[in-house]
Amino acid sequence: MYYHKKITSPVGELTLVATDQSLMAVLWENDDPTRIQLEESTEQEDHVLLVEAGNQLAEYFGRKRTGFELPLEFTGTEFQKKVWQALLTIPFGETRTYGQIAQQIGDPNAVRAVGGAANKNPISIIAPCHRVMGASGKLTGFAGGLKTKSYLLQLEYTKRNPTLWQSWE
């Protein structure tokens, strides 16, 4: 059975989806309903895992957390799961290119496919697809929108470089 809870964040309302064992999704407020295929869920504000995920996200947005400690379950193709697992290895405040992720998963010619898998990442923010850039270093497609991607990258960069935060706030 799937459960969900909506939380407010600096990047808009997020919907957290979990089973009793794992976090399954972090969805954007205006997410394309066809982007992630999940079973129907029941709203449950006090679900232990959803409450913990909400607390950890609040700490992240409050610049008090640089990583997440939650049980995750990815639903997708084997290729997508490899990409999503690779996303989890990108350190807080750092970025990688789609090409670097393709190299990391052992398929250097799959740069576009890596981009497609990143776009289908069901556990946004926690599996940090926002940390993946185009080869030129430009911000490229992101399910949460480029403004949100920029916000998340600035949040992380300024956490690592606190003197920059004052000018950005």
Q: Which residues are catalytic?
A: 129
For residue 69, give Cα distances in angstroms to 34, 56, 91: 28, 8, 14
For residue 156, give Cα distances in angstroms to 33, 63, 94, 125, 162: 28, 8, 8, 11, 10
Q: Could you give the CA distance from residue 93 to residue 27 in angstroms, rounded to a whole number?
A: 22
